[in-house]
């Protein structure tokens, strides 16, 4: 059995679908469906069972036997960067992940979990080394602290453990995220509603809309996970990005080009984000390449139209 926590979310549900495409449906999805709209991400997926995240935790702690576990892919977390309830974040993100790590080790089951590029703070170097890690919010700190926890055990692991530091993931099955959805999603909706795309004016020395991010299509992020599942001898903490920063203007132009209409409007940069906004991210993917991953990543010009075509076929 495969266990996917956060399996109704963006990356989790796309992984479930990808496993289905491999002929695998013996999947337990663990999630929190208080926001029930996420069920739509699983409506075309085949799974053997669903379980609430807290019920799953209690069963694991009580010694529940599930038989052979092929792998646990842990995507579940509170990902809101604006959440400052540290007690909640650390229990939900840090302590929960620690429990799963040790349980997987006891089962000798591969454990692949979601870290985050947010651990690097403002950068400008985004490499999986302690000297470059400076989290700026509670979400980032919870991810950083678990990575630190894992590093203490790396020499004594009984099975594969991989932490994936996602950069700016976009693509199908993210409609439920609301304001936290990707800029490609929001730009698409702005074009349909207003006929124009709104970008932030320049900041931190960057021109209007020229702030740079490492945008990665969710299919590429899932492909990395599948490769790791196929290579259980590989363990470590890896950046998951394209290794190529592109501007918000690039994304906007790709959306306008897809629709064949629309214009770009620049709005004043919000005061509350000044000093807390990543104007530049670019994954150093050297460690992932060294581990043996050779597949290429989609550019914005390739990934955005692919995503928008899916959105038109699956309107929110």
* Number of Cα atoms under 13 Å in the Cβ half of residue 24: 16
DSSP states along 142-196: HHHHHHHHHHTTGGG-SS-EEEEEE-EEE-SS-GGGGGGS-HHHHHHHHHHHHSE
Q: Is 139 a catalytic residue?
A: yes
| Whole-number Å distance between alpha carbons of 279 and 210 | 9
Active site residue 193: no
**CA gap 227, 205 in Å, rounded:** 38
Gap between the Cα atoms of 183 and 169, Å rounded: 10
For 308, the enclosing helix (H) or strand (E) is: helix 300-313
Which residue is catalytic, options 17, 40, 98, 177?
A: 177
Residue 191 is encoded by which pair of tokens?
Answer: 């074009």
Number of C-alpha atoms within 13 angstroms, CB side, residue 239? 30
Active-site residue, from 139, 166, 170, 258: 139
Distances (CA, A) of 132 to 38, 121, 144, 207, 304: 35, 9, 11, 26, 30
Q: CA 155 to CA 149: how far, in whole Å?
A: 12
In degrees, rounded to 5, the angle at the alpha carbon of residue 235 between the alpha carbons of residues 230 and 239 is: 95
Is it true that the peptide bond before 124 is cis, omega within 30 degrees of 0? yes
The set of catalytic residues is 139, 177
């Amino acid at each position: 059995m495969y266990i996917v926590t956060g399996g109704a979310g963006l990356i989790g549900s796309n992984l479930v679908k990808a496993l289905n495409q491999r002929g695998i449906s013996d999947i337990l999805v663990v999630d929190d469906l208080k926001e029930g709209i996420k069920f739509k991400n699983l409506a075309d997926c085949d799974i053997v069972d669903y379980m609430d995240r807290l019920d799953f935790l209690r069963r694991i702690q009580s010694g529940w036997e599930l038989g052979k576990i092929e792998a646990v892919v842990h995507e579940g977390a509170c990902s809101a960067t604006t959440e400052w309830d540290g007690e909640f974040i650390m229990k939900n993100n840090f302590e929960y992940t620690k429990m799963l790590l040790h349980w997987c080790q006891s089962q000798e089951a591969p454990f692949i979990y979601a870290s985050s590029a947010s651990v690097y703070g403002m950068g400008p170097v985004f490499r999986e080394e302690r000297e470059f890690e400076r989290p700026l919010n509670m979400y980032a700190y919870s991810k950083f602290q678990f990575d630190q926890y894992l590093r203490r055990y790396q020499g004594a692991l009984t099975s594969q453990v991989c932490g994936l530091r996602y950069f700016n993931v976009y693509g199908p099955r993210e409609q439920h995220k609301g304001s936290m959805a990707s800029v490609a999603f929001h730009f698409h909706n702005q074009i349909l509603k207003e006929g124009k795309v709104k970008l932030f004016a320049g900041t931190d020395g960057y021109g209007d809309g020229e702030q740079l991010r490492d945008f990665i299509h969710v299919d590429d992020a899932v492909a990395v996970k599948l490769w790791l599942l196929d290579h259980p001898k590989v363990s470590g903490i890896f950046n998951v990005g394209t290794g190529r920063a592109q501007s918000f203007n690039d994304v906007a132009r790709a959306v306008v080009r897809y629709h064949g209409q629309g214009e770009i409007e620049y709005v004043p940069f919000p005061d509350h984000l000044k000093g807390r906004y990543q104007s530049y991210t670019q994954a150093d993917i050297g460690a992932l390449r060294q581990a043996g991953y050779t597949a290429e990543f989609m550019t914005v010009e390739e990934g955005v139209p692919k995503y928008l075509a899916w959105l038109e076929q699956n309107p929110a």
